[in-house]
Amino acid sequence: MLRIPKSKFWATTHTHTHIFLPSFSNSLSLFLEIAMAASLNLSRLLSATAVTASLIPPKTLPSKLSLPLKRRPIHKPLRFSSSTISATIAAGDKLPDATFSFIDAAGEIQTTTVSDLTKGKRAVLFAVPGAFTPTCSQKHVPGFVEKSGELRAKGVDTIACISVNDAFVMKAWKEDLKVNDEVLLLSDGNGTFTRAIGCELDLSDKPVGLGVRSRRYALLAEDGVVKFFNLEEGGAFTFSGAEDILKLL
Protein backbone atom coordinates (compact mmCIF):
# COMPACT_ATOMS: atom_id res chain seq x y z
CA MET A 1 0.00 0.00 0.00
CA LEU A 2 1.23 3.50 -0.91
CA ARG A 3 1.66 5.68 2.24
CA ILE A 4 1.51 9.48 1.82
CA PRO A 5 3.45 11.55 4.37
CA LYS A 6 1.26 14.09 6.16
CA SER A 7 3.93 16.77 6.02
CA LYS A 8 3.73 16.85 2.19
CA PHE A 9 0.08 16.25 1.42
CA TRP A 10 -1.91 17.24 4.50
CA ALA A 11 -2.62 20.83 5.72
CA THR A 12 -4.93 22.21 8.48
CA THR A 13 -6.70 25.62 8.43
CA HIS A 14 -8.68 26.50 11.50
CA THR A 15 -11.15 23.69 12.11
CA HIS A 16 -11.25 22.33 8.54
CA THR A 17 -8.88 19.76 7.25
CA HIS A 18 -8.06 19.97 3.51
CA ILE A 19 -6.49 17.16 1.48
CA PHE A 20 -4.11 18.12 -1.36
CA LEU A 21 -2.97 15.27 -3.72
CA PRO A 22 -1.42 17.03 -6.71
CA SER A 23 1.93 15.14 -6.44
CA PHE A 24 0.22 11.76 -5.98
CA SER A 25 -2.02 12.35 -9.00
CA ASN A 26 0.93 13.19 -11.22
CA SER A 27 2.86 10.15 -10.02
CA LEU A 28 -0.08 7.85 -10.68
CA SER A 29 -0.52 9.26 -14.19
CA LEU A 30 3.18 8.78 -14.96
CA PHE A 31 3.07 5.24 -13.58
CA LEU A 32 0.11 4.36 -15.82
CA GLU A 33 1.84 5.80 -18.91
CA ILE A 34 4.98 3.79 -18.20
CA ALA A 35 2.94 0.63 -17.65
CA MET A 36 1.03 1.12 -20.91
CA ALA A 37 4.26 1.77 -22.84
CA ALA A 38 5.87 -1.33 -21.34
CA SER A 39 2.81 -3.39 -22.22
CA LEU A 40 2.89 -2.11 -25.81
CA ASN A 41 6.62 -2.87 -26.18
CA LEU A 42 6.12 -6.36 -24.75
CA SER A 43 3.28 -6.98 -27.19
CA ARG A 44 5.45 -5.87 -30.13
CA LEU A 45 8.36 -8.02 -28.92
CA LEU A 46 6.17 -11.11 -28.64
CA SER A 47 4.73 -10.47 -32.11
CA ALA A 48 8.19 -10.06 -33.67
CA THR A 49 9.41 -13.24 -31.95
CA ALA A 50 6.46 -15.19 -33.32
CA VAL A 51 7.13 -13.96 -36.88
CA THR A 52 10.84 -14.82 -36.62
CA ALA A 53 10.05 -18.28 -35.28
CA SER A 54 7.68 -18.90 -38.17
CA LEU A 55 10.46 -18.13 -40.68
CA ILE A 56 12.94 -20.59 -39.15
CA PRO A 57 12.33 -24.21 -40.18
CA PRO A 58 11.93 -26.57 -37.27
CA LYS A 59 15.06 -28.51 -36.37
CA THR A 60 14.64 -32.20 -35.96
CA LEU A 61 16.58 -33.54 -33.05
CA PRO A 62 18.08 -36.99 -33.43
CA SER A 63 16.47 -39.65 -31.33
CA LYS A 64 18.59 -40.86 -28.45
CA LEU A 65 17.42 -44.38 -29.21
CA SER A 66 18.64 -44.38 -32.81
CA LEU A 67 21.90 -46.23 -33.47
CA PRO A 68 24.57 -44.91 -35.85
CA LEU A 69 24.53 -46.70 -39.22
CA LYS A 70 27.79 -47.98 -40.66
CA ARG A 71 27.91 -47.53 -44.41
CA ARG A 72 29.60 -50.33 -46.24
CA PRO A 73 31.24 -49.59 -49.60
CA ILE A 74 29.45 -51.14 -52.57
CA HIS A 75 31.92 -52.87 -54.81
CA LYS A 76 30.76 -52.72 -58.40
CA PRO A 77 32.41 -54.50 -61.32
CA LEU A 78 34.66 -52.32 -63.44
CA ARG A 79 32.67 -50.93 -66.35
CA PHE A 80 34.41 -49.62 -69.40
CA SER A 81 33.38 -46.67 -71.53
CA SER A 82 30.12 -47.01 -73.45
CA SER A 83 30.95 -44.26 -75.95
CA THR A 84 30.38 -44.80 -79.66
CA ILE A 85 32.96 -46.98 -81.42
CA SER A 86 35.26 -45.03 -83.70
CA ALA A 87 38.65 -45.63 -85.29
CA THR A 88 40.72 -44.05 -88.00
CA ILE A 89 41.47 -47.30 -89.81
CA ALA A 90 39.32 -49.92 -91.49
CA ALA A 91 39.69 -52.90 -93.80
CA GLY A 92 41.77 -51.91 -96.82
CA ASP A 93 43.85 -49.30 -94.97
CA LYS A 94 47.59 -49.56 -94.45
CA LEU A 95 48.64 -49.61 -90.81
CA PRO A 96 50.60 -46.56 -89.63
CA ASP A 97 54.13 -47.35 -88.58
CA ALA A 98 55.02 -47.13 -84.90
CA THR A 99 57.60 -48.50 -82.50
CA PHE A 100 56.89 -50.99 -79.72
CA SER A 101 59.20 -52.12 -76.92
CA PHE A 102 59.69 -55.34 -74.99
CA ILE A 103 62.25 -56.94 -72.69
CA ASP A 104 63.93 -60.06 -74.00
CA ALA A 105 64.93 -63.20 -72.11
CA ALA A 106 68.30 -61.64 -71.21
CA GLY A 107 66.56 -58.67 -69.59
CA GLU A 108 67.51 -56.26 -72.38
CA ILE A 109 65.06 -53.69 -73.74
CA GLN A 110 64.34 -54.29 -77.41
CA THR A 111 62.20 -52.50 -79.96
CA THR A 112 60.25 -53.53 -83.00
CA THR A 113 58.01 -51.72 -85.46
CA VAL A 114 54.70 -52.29 -87.17
CA SER A 115 56.66 -52.70 -90.38
CA ASP A 116 58.87 -55.40 -88.81
CA LEU A 117 55.79 -57.30 -87.67
CA THR A 118 53.77 -57.09 -90.88
CA LYS A 119 55.95 -56.54 -93.93
CA GLY A 120 55.61 -59.55 -96.24
CA LYS A 121 53.70 -61.39 -93.48
CA ARG A 122 50.26 -62.27 -92.26
CA ALA A 123 50.02 -60.75 -88.80
CA VAL A 124 47.34 -60.90 -86.15
CA LEU A 125 47.56 -57.91 -83.83
CA PHE A 126 45.24 -57.69 -80.86
CA ALA A 127 45.04 -55.09 -78.12
CA VAL A 128 43.91 -55.11 -74.51
CA PRO A 129 42.97 -52.26 -72.14
CA GLY A 130 45.61 -53.26 -69.62
CA ALA A 131 48.05 -55.87 -68.41
CA PHE A 132 46.93 -57.87 -65.36
CA THR A 133 43.29 -56.81 -65.80
CA PRO A 134 40.82 -59.70 -65.35
CA THR A 135 39.39 -60.29 -68.84
CA CYS A 136 42.73 -59.70 -70.53
CA SER A 137 44.53 -62.11 -68.21
CA GLN A 138 41.89 -64.80 -67.96
CA LYS A 139 40.47 -64.91 -71.49
CA HIS A 140 41.97 -62.71 -74.18
CA VAL A 141 45.69 -63.53 -74.03
CA PRO A 142 45.27 -67.18 -72.93
CA GLY A 143 42.90 -67.72 -75.85
CA PHE A 144 45.53 -66.65 -78.39
CA VAL A 145 48.22 -68.68 -76.63
CA GLU A 146 45.99 -71.75 -76.79
CA LYS A 147 45.03 -71.24 -80.44
CA SER A 148 48.44 -70.08 -81.65
CA GLY A 149 49.18 -73.43 -83.32
CA GLU A 150 45.88 -73.34 -85.25
CA LEU A 151 46.46 -69.75 -86.30
CA ARG A 152 49.92 -70.56 -87.65
CA ALA A 153 48.50 -73.56 -89.45
CA LYS A 154 46.21 -71.09 -91.24
CA GLY A 155 49.20 -69.09 -92.44
CA VAL A 156 49.58 -66.51 -89.67
CA ASP A 157 53.24 -65.53 -89.20
CA THR A 158 52.99 -63.10 -86.29
CA ILE A 159 50.71 -62.99 -83.25
CA ALA A 160 51.21 -59.95 -81.05
CA CYS A 161 49.39 -58.41 -78.12
CA ILE A 162 49.61 -54.62 -77.76
CA SER A 163 48.90 -52.70 -74.57
CA VAL A 164 49.44 -49.16 -73.30
CA ASN A 165 51.72 -50.34 -70.49
CA ASP A 166 55.46 -50.01 -70.04
CA ALA A 167 57.80 -52.79 -71.12
CA PHE A 168 58.56 -53.86 -67.54
CA VAL A 169 54.90 -54.41 -66.77
CA MET A 170 54.47 -56.37 -69.99
CA LYS A 171 57.44 -58.58 -69.09
CA ALA A 172 56.05 -59.26 -65.61
CA TRP A 173 52.65 -60.03 -67.12
CA LYS A 174 54.18 -62.41 -69.64
CA GLU A 175 55.96 -64.28 -66.85
CA ASP A 176 52.82 -64.37 -64.74
CA LEU A 177 50.81 -65.85 -67.62
CA LYS A 178 53.68 -68.25 -68.45
CA VAL A 179 53.69 -67.15 -72.08
CA ASN A 180 56.67 -68.28 -74.16
CA ASP A 181 56.99 -67.51 -77.86
CA GLU A 182 53.38 -68.22 -78.79
CA VAL A 183 52.43 -64.55 -78.52
CA LEU A 184 54.55 -61.39 -78.43
CA LEU A 185 53.54 -59.02 -75.61
CA LEU A 186 54.44 -55.53 -76.79
CA SER A 187 54.45 -52.20 -75.01
CA ASP A 188 52.86 -49.19 -76.68
CA GLY A 189 53.89 -47.26 -73.60
CA ASN A 190 53.05 -43.76 -74.79
CA GLY A 191 50.01 -44.87 -76.76
CA THR A 192 51.54 -43.69 -80.04
CA PHE A 193 50.20 -46.52 -82.19
CA THR A 194 46.92 -46.64 -80.28
CA ARG A 195 46.22 -42.97 -80.99
CA ALA A 196 47.37 -43.27 -84.59
CA ILE A 197 44.61 -45.79 -85.32
CA GLY A 198 42.03 -43.92 -83.21
CA CYS A 199 41.63 -46.61 -80.56
CA GLU A 200 42.49 -44.74 -77.37
CA LEU A 201 40.14 -45.35 -74.46
CA ASP A 202 39.93 -42.81 -71.63
CA LEU A 203 39.42 -44.61 -68.33
CA SER A 204 40.48 -41.68 -66.14
CA ASP A 205 37.13 -41.72 -64.34
CA LYS A 206 37.71 -45.24 -63.02
CA PRO A 207 38.89 -45.64 -59.40
CA VAL A 208 41.81 -47.92 -60.28
CA GLY A 209 43.93 -45.29 -62.06
CA LEU A 210 44.01 -46.73 -65.58
CA GLY A 211 44.16 -43.38 -67.38
CA VAL A 212 44.17 -43.51 -71.19
CA ARG A 213 44.44 -47.04 -72.57
CA SER A 214 43.56 -48.95 -75.74
CA ARG A 215 40.22 -50.30 -76.82
CA ARG A 216 40.07 -54.03 -77.19
CA TYR A 217 40.40 -55.21 -80.79
CA ALA A 218 41.87 -57.83 -83.08
CA LEU A 219 42.93 -57.36 -86.68
CA LEU A 220 44.55 -59.27 -89.50
CA ALA A 221 47.07 -57.44 -91.66
CA GLU A 222 48.72 -58.80 -94.79
CA ASP A 223 51.87 -56.96 -95.77
CA GLY A 224 50.75 -54.09 -93.55
CA VAL A 225 47.27 -53.76 -95.07
CA VAL A 226 44.25 -54.39 -92.83
CA LYS A 227 42.09 -57.29 -94.03
CA PHE A 228 39.60 -57.20 -91.17
CA PHE A 229 39.36 -55.22 -87.97
CA ASN A 230 37.21 -56.35 -85.03
CA LEU A 231 36.92 -53.36 -82.70
CA GLU A 232 35.12 -53.88 -79.41
CA GLU A 233 33.01 -51.38 -77.50
CA GLY A 234 35.37 -50.13 -74.80
CA GLY A 235 36.78 -53.13 -72.96
CA ALA A 236 34.05 -55.58 -73.97
CA PHE A 237 35.12 -59.04 -75.10
CA THR A 238 32.65 -60.39 -77.64
CA PHE A 239 34.27 -60.93 -81.05
CA SER A 240 38.00 -60.16 -80.76
CA GLY A 241 39.14 -63.53 -79.40
CA ALA A 242 41.32 -66.13 -81.10
CA GLU A 243 38.33 -68.27 -82.11
CA ASP A 244 36.68 -65.27 -83.77
CA ILE A 245 39.82 -64.67 -85.83
CA LEU A 246 40.06 -68.33 -86.82
CA LYS A 247 36.54 -68.17 -88.25
CA LEU A 248 37.60 -65.34 -90.56
CA LEU A 249 40.75 -67.00 -91.92
31 and 110 belong to one structural domain: no
Domain membership of residue 166 (yes or no) is: yes
**The pLDDT value given to residue 228:** 96
Domain membership of residue 104 (yes or no) is: yes
Q: How far apart are CA 221 and CA 92, in angstroms?
A: 9
In this structure, is the dihedral angle defined by the CA atoms of residues 194, 195, 198 and 203, taken in order, positive or negative?
Answer: positive
Catalytic status, residue 136: yes
pLDDT digits (tens, 9 = 90+) for 78-98: 444 334 456 889 999 999 999
Q: Which amino acid is at 82?
A: S
Domain membership of residue 75 (yes or no) is: no
DSSP 177-216: HT--SSSEEEE-TT-HHHHHTT-EEEETTSTT--EEEE--
141 and 25 belong to one structural domain: no
The catalytically annotated residue of 89, 98, 128, 136 is 136
Q: What is the CATH number of the domain that holds 147?
A: 3.40.30.10
Contact status, residue 171 vs residue 139, Cβ threshold 8 Å: no
**The pLDDT value given to residue 207:** 82
Give the residue numbers spanning the domain of 23.
Answer: 9-52
pLDDT digits (tens, 9 = 90+) for 130-182: 999 999 999 999 999 999 999 999 999 999 999 999 999 999 999 999 999 99
**The pLDDT value given to residue 210:** 81
**The pLDDT value given to residue 34:** 58
**The pLDDT value given to residue 80:** 41
Does residue 17 sit in helix, strand or coil? strand
Based on the structure, what is the number of domains in the chain? Answer: 2
Q: Which residues of the chain have pLDDT under 50?
A: 1-25, 51-58, 60-84
